[in-house]
Amino acid sequence: MTFPSASNRPDLRELLAFYADAGVDEPLSEEPINRFAELATKKQEPPPAAHPTAPESSGQDEQNPDYRRMERSAPTAQARPSPASATVPDEAQAGLARELASNAKTLEELRGAVASFEGCNLKFTAKNTVFADGNPEARLMLVGEAPGRDEDIEGRPFVGRSGQLLDKILMAIGLDRTSVYIANVIPWRPPGNRTPTPHETQICRPFIERQIELVNPQVLVHLGGASAKTLLDTSEGILRLRGNWRSYTTASGTVIPAMPTLHPAYLLRTPNHKKLAWRDFLEVKMKLRALGL
């Protein structure tokens, strides 16, 4: 077997950077586990004693098919119980989310309802509930999909690299975080930055819908396909959706012009599409101007 030379081995910083990029930001246990010690302990344990009432078998019995069936079906003295399956949110939790959201009369009440809600499994793997950032009185609201690692740590949406790009885009049309309101469809970071499941999205959907209704913006921007598909009830891809004004209707019947556009994280991976997002935000700027904002 050939081992890599010291010069070819990855640097510790490179490994840590790789783990961070992959979404691994904490150990699974506070203390390291010595698996070799566990193995040595198991080897030293005496074999389990035979069942006190079990008769000694003869070779003739073992050849009997009925005996073999009985032997396979007999319970073992040291049988381990099967591990409990992970709790999956059900329709009752979705109904509870709808009830909590509809009962919230203010954004602060809604923030409290989201923070106390335990019907979505994502909450138990996240560090913080990421509710919103910016000005709740703003006429422009932007909605993304879910928090990332940096957002989970700080408890605010769009504070990582994609958030820095979003700030530059807003600055280019004369806006900043004091003049917009930013939120996500999902308020908790999925483990490892994985894509939220449709069930997780539907569990959280009542909260973002009520959040939009309470903010009551004049213009809504969907950052990425997940936000647009969820809130506009469409299956079209973001490259087809972007650049075209849609209408979002709140539960109270208010119709808000909505612009789907590319997510800043996508623009970081595909910089040649920044020009498309720039066109979308110019449309947003003109819409705000036409509304006298």
Structure confidence by residue, pLDDT tens digits, 199-221: 999 999 999 999 999 999 999 99
**DSSP 8-state code for residue 292:** T
CA–CA dist 139, 218 (Å, integer): 5
**Lowest mean pLDDT: which of 8-12, 195-199, 220-224, 281-285?**
8-12
Is 80 exceeded by the pLDDT of residue 229?
A: yes
Higher per-residue pLDDT: 29 or 10: 10
Higher per-residue pLDDT: 119 or 64: 119
Q: How many residues does the chain have?
A: 293
Q: How confident is the model at residue 230 (pLDDT cuts 50, 70, 90)?
A: very high
pLDDT in tens, 241-273: 999 999 999 999 999 999 999 999 999 999 999
- 91-290 placed in CATH 3.40.470.10: yes
CA–CA dist 246, 126 (Å, integer): 33
Q: Residue 266 belongs to what H/E stretch?
A: helix 264-269
Q: How confident is the model at residue 23 (pLDDT cuts 50, 70, 90)?
A: low
CA–CA dist 181, 183 (Å, integer): 7
Higher per-residue pLDDT: 18 or 283: 283
Distance between start and end Cα atoms, the chain = 69
Is 50 exceeded by the pLDDT of residue 62?
A: no
Beta strands, E only, the chain: 132-134, 140-144, 181-184, 219-223, 246-249, 255-261
CA–CA dist 207, 97 (Å, integer): 7
β 140-144/219-223 pair status? parallel
Q: What's the burial of 129, exposed, middle or buried (CB within 10 Å: 0-12/13-18/19+)? A: middle
Whole-number average pLDDT of the chain:
82
Q: Residue 18 belongs to what H/E stretch?
A: helix 12-21
Q: What is the pLDDT of residue 102?
A: 96
CA–CA dist 104, 155 (Å, integer): 21
Q: Are 142 and 181 in contact (CB under 8 A)?
A: yes
Mean pLDDT of 61-74: 46
Is 60 exceeded by the pLDDT of residue 28?
A: no
pLDDT in tens, 68-85: 444 444 444 343 333 333
**Lowest mean pLDDT: which of 45-59, 93-107, 147-161, 277-291?**
45-59
Q: How far is CA 114 from the centre of its chain?
A: 15
pLDDT in tens, 123-134: 999 999 999 999
Q: What is the pLDDT of residue 91?
A: 79
pLDDT in tens, 174-201: 999 999 999 999 999 999 999 999 999 9
Domain map of the chain by residue range? 91-290
Q: What would you report as the CA-atom Rg of the chain, rounded to the nearest whole angstrom?
A: 27
Share of the chain above pLDDT 90, in %: 67
**Lowest mean pLDDT: which of 35-39, 118-122, 191-195, 247-251?**
35-39
141 phi, psi to nearest 5 deg:
-120, 135
- Which residue, 131, 142, 127, is CA-closest to 104? 131
Q: What is the pLDDT of residue 292?
A: 86
